[in-house]
Structure 1
Amino acid sequence: MTSPASSVAAPSPSAVAKVVLVLEALSSVHGVSEISRGTGLPTSTVHRILQELVGLGWVRVDADRRYLPGVRLLSLAGQSASIPQIVRPVLQRLCTETGHTIHFALLSGDEAVYVDKLEGDRAYAMRSRVGLSIPLHCTAIGKSILAALPKPELRTRLSRLPLTAMTPRTITDPDLLVAHLEQVGARGYSVDDEENEEHTRCLGAAVLDHHGAPIGGISVSALTFDLDRAKVRTCAPLLLAAAREASQALGLPARRD
């Protein structure tokens, strides 16, 4: 004879439990159908949960439409070092497209720190290295980060920065720098025109988190003879596309044009 307890159906998982089931499934499967089968949840429920998690930055979608742990989930798990790994494919493609050296740096206090570098196919090499701290006011990545800040926060940061003249071309006047950064913000990318190092020209674009705040930037770097004005115009759209893709990989919602 069946006991009363055994005839009672198991309770359906709570809303929180469903989210946890989906997150746990991401460690081994990355498609809606696969997650649905693994968790026993309806595909519509899995899809809704994943979309909400993507919007919050806990899950990301790659170019193959696979759902993967997002930067917020990785950071919570103590894996923030995975951020360069997430962005690396974007950098590799940009390096191939431009042939120039590509840097990825993360904001750290009032500086940025190189966390990845890919050498181009040129006969020369840039002297930069992973782990090097760079100033914000005169580097392509730094200026792109500053330009992406709200005006009050920008002014606060500039008040703390020494604005040291690294070369004769470095902008050291705060008002002139603010005006310059407004132009950077309007076009979406910055140019370090021998402002940090003589004979070197770089383009930079900010990488944003899921809130739209700058957390770092990507740069294209070369000697000045190798990155002239015409090549700047060619490389800029490629850089902007890469920065946008990196931002979306880190949780920024895709633009709806």
Structure 2
Amino acid sequence: MEQRPSTAIDKALWVLEALAEHESVTKIATATGLPKSTIHRILQALAEHGFARPDGSGGYLPGPKILTLAGRMLTRFDPVRQASPVLARLHEQTGYTVHFAVLNGDEAVYAAKLEGRKPYQMPSRVGMSLWLHSSAIGKAMLAAMSDTEVAGIAARTGLRRRTPSTITTQAALRRCLAEVRRQGFAIDDEENEQGVRCVGAAVFDHNGHVVAGVSLSTLTHELSVDDARELGPLVADTAREVSRTLGAPMESLASHG
């Protein structure tokens, strides 16, 4: 095990984090690398403040204070604010319009937009909803879902056509999503708006569930399909970084990367 800092705060935080998955002092000791005597002392202090509670058999469980604190924090948690610095960097790197959209039932809703450094604007706005099957952000989200979930959304929405290039059958959608899963990002090739090409990737929350997406958008004459594929890994990396700010587990990001 690598050498860890030895401050009291570090040790308390390690124990608190391990308490989320382990009850016994032995398992917490294995997870943190701390002596059992130290862990006992920290757990007793956490219990005094309501962050842990004895389970009656020598182990400990998370205490009620954790739930209270988590609830208060979640009411102040703003995914757009968390994502903003990462989105701004993508915008600076590419100069294209950057979108952040959140999953809302069977559609997505734009929650943030950074306009590209071009003499034109994308036909989108914060608060606008978009179909999942016709957009890069949406297809990236669908690719992170199970086949059953995708089939349900397709049945409910009808896979309506927006442009001549829109995917309108479940068979074609399945083939597209298989490619999205393979490469880690989705491309909207004039499927949502004619003359507009986008690259999108999915964002995951602390439970590893898809909740949002990031995309780059510009006019087709500015971005060829080959260029879009080259930018795909950058968009996917940005989405993974946003996911990390939302607390997504590393194993979830790896499985979707």
**TM-score normalised over the length of structure 1:** 0.72
**Alpha-carbon contact 2:140-2:185 (below 8 Å) kept:** yes
**Alpha-carbon contact 2:97-2:113 (below 8 Å) kept:** yes
In structure 1, distance between residues paired with 2:114 and 2:190:
21
Q: In the TM superposition, what are the counterparts of 1:1-257 in structure 2 within 5 Å?
A: 42-50=9-17, 73=70, 77-80=74-77, 82-254=78-250
State the secondary structure of the residue aligned to 1:102. strand
**Alpha-carbon contact 1:114-1:131 (below 8 Å) kept:** yes
**Alpha-carbon contact 2:185-2:233 (below 8 Å) kept:** no
Read off the aligned partner of 2:90 and give its amino acid letter.
L
Q: What RMSD, in angstroms, separates the aligned Cα atoms of the two structures? A: 2.4
State the secondary structure of the residue aligned to 1:78. helix
Q: CA deviation at 1:126?
A: 0.8
Deviations 1:72-100, CA, capped at 9 Å, x for gaps: 947864235x1100001110000011110
Q: List runs of 5+ in structure 2 lacking aligned partners.
A: 22-68
State the secondary structure of the residue aligned to 2:113. strand
State the secondary structure of the residue aligned to 2:218. strand
In structure 2, distance between residues paired with 1:123 and 1:53:
51
Q: 1:151 to 1:76 in 2, by over 3 A?
A: farther
Q: CA deviation at 1:124?
A: 1.5
List 4+ stretches of structure 1 deviating above 6 A: 51-54
Q: CA deviation at 1:134?
A: 0.5
**Alpha-carbon contact 1:111-1:136 (below 8 Å) kept:** yes
State the secondary structure of the residue aligned to 2:250. coil
Q: CA deviation at 1:52?
A: 6.2
Q: CA deviation at 1:145?
A: 0.5
In structure 2, distance between residues paired with 1:75 and 1:43:
23
By relative contact order (CA 8 Å, sep 6+), the higher-ranking structure is 1
Q: 1:212 to 1:77 in 2, by over 3 A?
A: closer
Task: Give the share of equivalent positions with the same residue, in percent.
Answer: 41
**Alpha-carbon contact 2:131-2:138 (below 8 Å) kept:** yes
Count, aligned residues: 202
Q: 1:74 to 1:166 in 2, by over 3 A?
A: farther
Q: List runs of 5+ in structure 1 lacking aligned partners.
A: 1-31, 55-71
In structure 1, distance between residues paired with 2:9 and 2:205:
30
Q: CA deviation at 1:51?
A: 6.4
In structure 2, distance between residues paired with 1:175 and 1:89:
38
Read off the aligned partner of 2:76 and give its amino acid letter.
Q
Q: CA deviation at 1:48?
A: 3.1
In structure 1, distance between residues paired with 2:130 and 2:212:
12
**Alpha-carbon contact 1:96-1:120 (below 8 Å) kept:** no
**TM-score normalised over the length of structure 2:** 0.72
Q: CA deviation at 1:209?
A: 1.3
